[in-house]
Amino acid sequence: VLPLFPTETFELLMRHAENHTNAVLQGLHHSMADQAAGPVRELFTDISLFLLGSELSVDELVQRFFDALFPVVYNHLINPGPGEISPGYAECVRSSRRDVRPFGGAPGLLADQIARSGVSGKLLLQALHLGIEVINTTDHLQLSRECRRALLKMHYCPHCQGLTQSKPCMGYCLNVMRGCLASMAEIDAHWREFVRSLEGLSARMQGPQDLEQVLLGVHALLRDAVGHAQKSGPRLSAQVHKLCGTPSRKPTQLVSIQLSRSSSSTDSIALKAPVRPLGDSLAVRRRDFLSSMRHYRTYYGGLADQLCVSELVFGDGQSCWNGTDIVKSYTLRVVGNGIKAQSGNPEVKVKDADPVINQIIDKLKHINQLLQGKSIPKLGSLDQIETGSGDVEGRYSGDCDDEDGCGGSGGGDVKRKVSRVSKMSTDTLTR
């Protein structure tokens, strides 16, 4: 569930907003919609690029859209005549748009709404991407040699002595797992803060701050804009006439266009069907996603314990494996979570935090600052935290070294256990 959220939902949202917009234009004037489809497509492509981090000017992309729309509206609604206006005339109408202002305050309003909601929309997208990167990176994390050895000893060595039913002692398991996952536990505090900050951002995304609402409202704004142009038709006609002269038209082309269109009239009727309010379900998806994140808020801090609990679920509770013998209880000190706590770990030697994890933590710290509004995103700064994910390829192969004191040729069992560890983290996150 988690990894699918950002791109899919975002693309769906864009397609919907574009469809609504086309449907409205279709409803206003059937043949106009076909000609406006190109500019509408370009508008939504530009908005996507802007939201995904390109440095387009929102004002400029919105103005360009209305420039391109004006000749179409002029041709069909303001000064309809027999046939299309010539390309040269259309170009003149286009370039007159910023002076003639046929759409009233609509262009400024749309640019303002997109810019305003875009700030939080962009941030939400980037944050969700980072969230997935964190999960993905920790899921593919390479275990240290010391950890692999400790896991091997814990899981495999009882078998060497024919003690196939024995389970490790809880304290022993905790020491091993907390040692192995010490770096991951360092993510805990930052991950909790990340989830909290995301919720804060999401709560602020209301009304004009809500990108979804703004995008799904483009069609209504456009209806008003075109309505405004229609109402001031005579004035616009006169002004365009003054600037561009008498419209030159090409009647022959019209016939062929109309003929070719009549064949696809059923499609057009389908397009006119009322716009379904899918916007709600997208907002619901965002809330669902965040609540599943909230559910895994404490994931990194509790992972070692969780793994040991499930490890020991079938143990008899009477006796356990302490690493050398079957005993009643484990007598050594049980260490806490995190890198610092590992200095006293009797089972796994842990030196420093994994550099890949440190990188992830730096990215979380940065995005948390942005999410909390403590620093203003500089141009390109969000892109930087997106790159250099530092994914480590390859997993532990499960070989059993002789020096690990395990003997035998197996290693398959540990391999299974280790892959269960990483599978478990996947299951837990995607359940």
Q: Which of 236, 17, 15, 249 is nearest to 114 (CA)?
A: 17
How near is the Cβ of 23 to ligand NAG at its closest, in Å?
A: 8
Number of residues near ligand NAG (by CB under 6 A): 18
Is residue 204 near ligand NAG by the rule CB under 6 A?
no
Stretch of 11-19, 65-73, 153-161, 224-232 contacting ligand NAG, by CB under 6 A: 11-19
Residue among 165, 248, 310, 331 that touches ligand NAG (CB under 6 A): 331
Residue among 109, 132, 254, 275 that touches ligand NAG (CB under 6 A): 132
**Contact letters for ligand NAG, residues 340-379 (x by CB under 6 A):** ----------------------------------------
CB nearer ligand NAG, residue 18 or residue 84: 18
How near is the Cβ of 16 to ligand NAG at its closest, in Å?
A: 5
Q: Which residues in the 15-54 window bind ligand NAG by CB under 6 A? A: 15-16, 19
How near is the Cβ of 132 to ligand NAG at its closest, in Å?
A: 5
Place of tokens 């994910």: 389
Stretch of 70-78, 330-338, 358-366, 418-426 contacting ligand NAG, by CB under 6 A: 330-338
Residue among 136, 142, 239, 422 that touches ligand NAG (CB under 6 A): 136
Is residue 289 near ligand NAG by the rule CB under 6 A?
no
Is residue 167 near ligand NAG by the rule CB under 6 A?
no
Provide the binding-site residues for ligand NAG, judged by CB under 6 A.
3, 12, 15-16, 19, 132, 136, 140, 271, 322-325, 327, 330-332, 391
